Amino acid sequence: MQHWELLLFFLVISFIYASVGFGGGSSYLAILALYALPVPEMKLTALLCNIIVVTGGTLIYIRNGQVVWKKIIPLAVVSVPMAFLGARLKLSQDTFFITLGCSLIAAAILLWIKTKKGRDYLTEKEKENYLRDGALGGAIGFLSGMVGIGGGIFLSPLLNLIKWDSSKKIAATASVFILVNSVSGIVGQLSKSYSGINYTQIALLCVAVLIGGQAGSRIGSLKFDHSIIRRITAIVVLAAGIEVLIKHLHWYN
């Protein structure tokens, strides 16, 4: 492995994101974008690490009965094929990095903004809106597939903003959403042929996020200020997004 420091970065990122219920795909890409790695390798790495981090949390949510399938299915049934199509889309390297930079900046803003928590009780009118949910899931799914993230970092604050459900159920929904979209994105990526990917490095990074994610998901139940962690992460993601744009926007001057 050429960049051993990545193991520490990914360990810390997975720990932080697992503690607040996300997979960390945006931050994995933010770090990988600073290295001269092949774009397909960046996407596969971020998506695989996403799956490893959120799988444990998803199983816990399901076991605790916090996953409301009737409400998740309209999101997922559109987002999954859209994530596949987004992953299949052929982008030039500079188009990808510009899209990634803009996505990282948007993710940083959503991380920074303190959205109101979902309520525990909703009116009948607020409970179900399948058309809205399908459109939201499809849009985020397509962007997720293009960039190589799970999309939970966009979905969760937006669902809280529209008072979609209680905070716990939104967290459970985001976890499932990240998992299914990451799997769909990987299938889309693997349907294309690539060469020069360092699978050994990917495997080592997966081990790092497995350790960090498991630790974060357990410590996440302790009392510490999640908002501070989210805002520190937002600053890192914002800085990476701006740097990516600075490096690649010169093509469009």
CB atoms within 10 A of CB 90: 7
Q: By C-alpha distance, which of 246, 185, 229 is closest to 22? A: 229
DSSP 250: G
Q: By C-alpha distance, which of 70, 17, 76 is closest to 217? A: 17
The answer to whether residue 167 scores a pLDDT higher than 70 is yes
Each residue's pLDDT tens digit, 179-227: 999 999 899 888 876 677 888 999 999 999 999 888 877 765 455 556 7
Q: What is d(CA 53, CA 46) in angstroms, rounded to the nearest whole number?
A: 11
> Considering just the CA atoms, what is the radius of gyration of the chain in Å?
17
Which amino acid makes up residue 95?
A: T
Instruction: Note if the pTM is more than 0.85.
Output: no
Helices (H), 20-38: 25-32
pLDDT at position 33: 81
pLDDT at position 127: 59
Each residue's pLDDT tens digit, 231-251: 777 887 788 788 888 877 765
Q: What is d(CA 6, CA 122) in angstroms, rounded to the nearest whole number?
A: 43
SS3 (DSSP) at 75: helix
Q: Of 2 and 253, which is predicted with more confidence?
A: 2
pLDDT at position 63: 85
Helix/strand/coil percent split, the chain, to 5: 75, 0, 25
Q: By C-alpha distance, which of 231, 118, 105, 232 is closest to 174? A: 118
Q: Of 2 and 106, which is predicted with more confidence?
A: 106
Each residue's pLDDT tens digit, 113-143: 765 554 555 555 555 688 898 999 999 999 9
Portion of the chain with pLDDT greater than 70, in percent: 87
